[in-house]
Homo-oligomer: A and B are copies of this chain.
């Protein structure tokens, strides 16, 4: 197939990690006979510096004209003092909303070679294989009214049945194709929005009779995720709870740098690592490219519907990790490479 892929390197380590993922995508394309055309565009602080806008209209147009978007990371202290609409993060949030990306998939699997890289005991993390489905275009992130003054501030947490239903369906469908176990996380003992969340999940459950559904309160789930991660399969959450819990879950895998994400729901998906721009590592060839490379695999699977190609890329990453290669963020018996050198190994393993 021919496919146009937009690459948004962003800030900090973003350009370094996306470069490795692009190289891997090209290698997959060569091996499977596809022609991937890459077009770069600006987002985040890089876009603010160049245009004053963290999501220039031109970037959005390029994204819309492509089949999928690969993103690095945005943000950094350089833009801390800016007003809200000139903050790198607001470019990312506007991109998610403009493209209608309501479902954020964050797989967290513990690689056998990295059972000892986590601060948790190996016997706790071994075999963990989670799929977070985070609602991405609603809730506190976008709720109106919102206001800020020196004396008082307000944010609003709204959810409609339709917003919950569409993301819950994604979670149910993923669960049906996995271990048929869905945990929906909320704070229904306090929040009305969580009561509705729980109700909508309950109402959908009969349509997926093979899927076992549980509900958990976000506080006690934050604990269960660490004490018994293997008990869970698909984890469905609203926007902010998913932000917190999926970062927390990264400790299971051993490093935030390993974890990919896919943001779906509109006509074009965005695929990005869950780590940030890590300004302190930028330009040092030290960032872990695996989170972005695995995001590229999700791009193949969910963005271009290329299943064998996605598996080929994931299996290349697997074999390189199994061989004891990684970056400095991974503890344990791992040979630490630079970003480029690790990317090269993965590309060669495809």
Contacts and interface: CB of A to CB of B under 8 A. Distances in A.
A193 B154 contact: yes
Contact of A160 (B152, B199, B218, B222): B152
A226 to B, nearest CB: 5
A223 B251 CA distance: 6
A61 interface: no
A158 interface: yes
A113 interface: no
Interface stretch (A119-127, A173-181, A303-311, A333-341): A119-127
Contacts of A226: 119-120, 226, 248, 251
A219 B244 contact: yes
Interface string A135-172: 00000110000111011111111111100000000000
A148 B87 contact: no
A29 to B, nearest CB: 34
B141 A190 contact: yes
A270 to B, nearest CB: 17
Contact of A195 (B153, B157, B190): B153
A187 B151 contact: no
| Candidate in A155, A191, A226 with the most chain B CB atoms within 10 angstroms | A155
Contacts of A247: 219-220, 222-223
Complex A-B, nearest 7 residue pairs according to Cβ-Cβ distance, in ascending order: A148-B192, A153-B196, A222-B248, A219-B247, A153-B192, A155-B157, A153-B193
